[in-house]
Amino acid sequence: MDADAIIVGGGLAGLVAACELIDAGKSVLIVDQEPEQHLGGQAFWSLGGIFLVDSPEQRRMGIRDSLELAKQDWAGSAGFDRNSDGWARRWADAYVEWAAGGKRDWLRERGIRFFPIVGWAERGGVTADGPGNSVPRFHITWGTGPGIIEPFVERVQDAAKAGKLRFAFRHRVDGLIVTNGVVEGVHGMTLAPDDAVRGGKTNREEVGAFELRAQTVLVSSGGIGGNHDLVRKNWPERLGKAPEFMVSGVPEHVDGRMLGIAEGHGVSVINQDRMWHYVEGVRNWDPIWPAHGIRILPGPSSMWFDASGERMPVPNFPGFDSLTALEHIGRTGQPYTWFVLTQGIIKKEFALSGSEQNPDLTGKSWRQVLGRAIGKKAMGPVEAFKEHGADFAVADTLEELVAGMNRVGEVPVPLDRLREQIEARDRNVDNPFTKDAQMAAVHAARNYRGDRLIRTAKPHRILDPANGPLIAVRLNVLTRKSLGGIETDLGSRALGQSGEPVPGLFAAGEAAGFGGGGVHGYRSLEGTFLGGCLFSGRAAGRTMAEAV
């Protein structure tokens, strides 16, 4: 045996599992097709959002949350409706209980802290028992994605120096080694060295073959978001037609290969039609990986129009219900949509997803954080997209803005119709009550202190030059997460087609649908992907340690 445990994939879930195994005195071998500089995987690029329930941060912001409310929101968002959802339901209950219980203390023990203002993602906005978060629960890690992976990266690197763990970078797994039904290792090809920057495209030049053996094998290799062919193959009819043009929110190596390999060995891979893609993607003007897109994390005030300039129907407001918006866009055949807003809105309400797009939070700079609350400009990365982004149009007048929109987009936007809709909205600004559902939602959002401070602009007229310039942003579908994956029990044991564990095989993170083959069901409440990696990776490491 080469180790007690082999971990396929050096992302967050794999790192957490490795730490649990090391703590239990087991030897570990981490196998990854990417170079060493990619250690930590997709989590590095994240905003570091963590879903917590009834936390001290929430209470300090005046938020009253509870386990019962969180479970209600999870059930309303997940919409579990399949016989195969049995383990996913159990994972969901266990995860929400952890989020309301020991999760925060467990993270703090590892040095992880949170930005004090809790964000309100996926607001839902229709019924109390429907999709979305009833209250803000999005806790941003102080240090964003790099801050989340740091304690686990340091732990495995220290273990490597002590001889307790080995890395096998540039090792692409092509299959499992199975003897008498027991998984005993992996085999594949070694790839040529590559000094590409983190997240960049790497070569696939094969320079040798390998076989590695261990008593336990963990698949923590991520999902399919970087493989648009697989995304389209699994795109469900209920979401309409997949857009012809999409951007990627994850690097190209997030290709789903290990899911196909596991399935080829009789492992149960379920819910592959459940995916989590965003509708607010913009092309990165300074890309790192192919088709690199960045998601806008919008506040509630931007007006949202389809490609031809018609306002999106209720409840499609920015930041409220990602899946419903995606379904509307797909079913109506929209190639893209538009946000129309002002400098006053973009300055307060636009955040960009990604550690590299939030230097204040990533660099732990309170001085820079203050820039979110004062001054006339948005954060530097947002202003850079305004200046350089291919999907942005900026103008002083609506006539000039529409001309810019028609240069950026392929579907003509009529000036008079757009003006008519914006003016109708602007007439509803003067009172704190209104029949416009979006404006009512803006007023409601500002009742929350956190939104009022840094996330939701004071209502104002879009066409008033004092609030300018005017801004239009073309929004593309951005691929991101697989919500389905390898079916697992609560110990992260991979299950076969019979429903019984496959001896020696485990799965965690996105490859396992963040637990059970789909802990989120159809929708995420956000802050749950990193948390799902932490929770399922922890379970996998502990169960594997017991099995050795």
Model confidence pLDDT, tens digit, residues 316-326: 999 999 999 99
For residue 102, how many C-alpha atoms fall within 13 Å in the half-sphere facing its CB? 7
Q: Strands 337-342 and 293-297, how do they pair?
A: unpaired
Cis-peptide into 465, omega within 30 deg = no
300 φ, ψ to 5°? -90, 0
pLDDT of residue 367: 87
pTM of the model: 0.97
The C-alpha atoms of residue 342 and residue 208 are separated, in whole angstroms, by 56
Query: What residue ranges of the chain have pLDDT lower than 70?
Result: none
The one-letter amino acid at 464: D
78-101 pLDDT per residue, tens: 999 999 999 999 999 999 999 999
Fold of 279-478: Flavocytochrome C3; Chain A, domain 1 (3.90.700)
Stated length of the chain: 548
State which H helix or E strand residue 261 sits in. helix 257-264
For the chain, give the longest Cα–Cα distance.
74
Question: Which distant-in-sequence residues (6+ apart) come within 8 Å of 9 by Cβ?
Answer: 31, 32, 41, 219, 220, 221, 222, 258, 509, 511
Matching fold, domains 3-162+256-274+483-547 and 279-478: no
- Dump the DSSP string for 255-294: --HHHHHHHHTTB-EE-TT-EEEEEEEEE-SS-SSTTBEE
The C-alpha atoms of residue 18 and residue 152 are separated, in whole angstroms, by 9
Name the CATH code of domain 3-162+256-274+483-547 (choices 2.30.29.30, 3.90.25.10, 3.50.50.60, 1.10.1060.10). 3.50.50.60
The C-alpha atoms of residue 474 and residue 337 are separated, in whole angstroms, by 6
The C-alpha atoms of residue 11 and residue 427 are separated, in whole angstroms, by 50
The C-alpha atoms of residue 356 and residue 327 are separated, in whole angstroms, by 30
247-305 pLDDT per residue, tens: 999 999 999 999 999 999 999 999 999 999 999 999 999 999 999 999 999 999 999 99
Domain range annotation of the chain: 3-162+256-274+483-547, 279-478
pLDDT of residue 419: 98
Question: SS3 helix, strand, coil % of the chain, rounded to 5?
Answer: 35, 25, 40
pLDDT of residue 434: 95
Q: Which 3 state secondary structure label does DSSP give 228?
A: helix
State which H helix or E strand residue 246 sits in. strand 246-248
The C-alpha atoms of residue 438 and residue 260 are separated, in whole angstroms, by 43
Residues linked to residue 546 through DSSP beta bridges, in sequence order: none
Cα–chain center distance at 255: 16
pLDDT of residue 376: 77
CB 168 within 8 A of CB 30: yes
Cα dihedral value 282, 287, 289, 290, nearest 10: 60
Q: Which 3 state secondary structure label does DSSP give 338?
A: strand
CB 473 within 8 A of CB 396: no
Q: How far is CA 387 from CA 198, 294, 384, 416, in A?
A: 25, 15, 5, 26
